[in-house]
Amino acid sequence: MVWLLYWAFILLCVLVSMATLIKKDYVLGLSNLILSLFTPGYAFFRYMDKTNGVNEIEYFFEQLKSANLEAYFILFLFLVLLLITAYNLITNNIEFNSGNKKRIKPQTKRAVKAK
């Protein structure tokens, strides 16, 4: 169950970064995409050498308890990823719909003056 939530979060981050890039906000979109690919990859390769009988998440929390700076760095990267993704979702009004909804076109200044 934890792995399902983890990979769903990573997939959400990648989708939000793609939608942000489509909306032409390149700085936030690229930073979100790079972090959403780099952070889990870095954490995966870092914790491949874990001890036997312990899964990666338990090993990560053990490293946090033992004040490992690299574990705190990975935690910081995930927090930054979460904040950038939340910011992109809130500020860019990204909608994940099926396309069945009818969109209302905003009125231009010319159309408002003509009325």
Give CA–CA dist 7/31, Å, rounded. Answer: 19
Selection from 71, 5, 1, 4 nearest residue 39 by Cα:
71
Per-residue pLDDT of the chain (115 residues; tens, 9 = 90+): 777 888 888 898 888 888 888 888 788 888 888 888 898 888 888 777 776 777 777 788 888 899 888 889 989 998 999 998 888 888 876 665 555 555 556 666 665 565 5
Global confidence as pTM: 0.69
Instruction: Determine the length of the chain.
Output: 115
Neighbours of 91 (CB within 10 A): 12
Give CA–CA dist 69/56, Å, rounded. Answer: 17
Give CA–CA dist 86/61, Å, rounded. Answer: 24
